Amino acid sequence: MSETYGIPRPSLRRLPIYYRHLIEMAERQVPYVSSKDLGQNAGVPASQVRKDLSYLHEYGRPGVGYDTKALAGYLEEFLGLANDKEAILVGVGNLGRALTLYPGFAQYGLQIIALFDIDPAKIGQTVGDREVLPMFKLVDLARRLKVQMGIITVPPHAAQEVASAMVSGGIKVIWNFAPCKLTVPAEVLVKSEDLAAELAALSHHIMRRSQVLAPATE
């Protein structure tokens, strides 16, 4: 049941990687790209690439490969990268500012149209042309503008409250950078980016690595 409208989640998450390589090859005027090529760039076997693409029912040509532009275009459409997607961001700290100004998002159609913070000192400041608004304006603004995504970059203790406000505002997709669990209605999708947890997992690797490299004690 982890399928996402017909395509397995891990496959879906590899598609943007393929897409990126296709764009690069298109810029270099390479007319066809093979699954082997795509796989090497993405760090997966060629068979994985072919299987992933087979879910899309976009076919390549045996002996040749996939039409670079056609496949890039199809992936762009499938992922909805060309469509404009509007988001609001709550929590104008360092991370919030960084995401607001991150150039990669605009390339994929994401427009962060409003910023919010609870800190009165930050309200009225501007970050890349956008003014920081007070929290009480969030629900109404999200409703009026039919905002599609909410980005949370507040400390964990405030995240649930922010998420609930977003839900009240009709937001259906939340991208959460606070290291905590959010409780939302089932129709709302939450994707959490837990950097502290990722670090903790990496930390384990670092520990094990140094243990392995150190002389054995037994």
Stretch that binds DNA, among 56-64, 81-89, 159-167, 207-215 (CB under 7 A): 56-64
Q: Please identify, using beta-carbon distances, which residue of 66 and 177 lies nearer to DNA.
A: 66
- C-beta contacts of 101-110 below 8 A and 24+ residues apart: 101/127, 101/128, 108/81, 109/80, 109/81, 109/82, 109/83, 109/84, 109/85, 110/85, 110/149
Is 197 a binder of DNA (CB under 7 A)? no
Q: Please identify, using beta-carbon distances, which residue of 97 and 130 lies nearer to a second copy.
A: 97
Least distance from DNA to the Cβ atom of residue 197, Å: 14
Q: In sequence order, what are the beta bridge partners of 131?
A: 126
Least distance from a second copy to the Cβ atom of residue 195, Å: 7
Structure tokens at 86: 């509007």
Choice from 50, 69, 85, 172 touching DNA (CB under 7 A): 50
From the list DNA, a second copy, none, partner contacted by residue 136 (C-beta under 5 to 8 A by kind): none
Q: How far is CA 47 from CA 38, 50, 51, 197, in A?
A: 10, 5, 6, 31
Q: In sequence order, what are the beta bridge partners of 68?
A: none
Q: Which residues bind DNA (CB under 7 A)?
A: 1-3, 8-11, 34-36, 44-48, 50-51, 53-54, 59-66
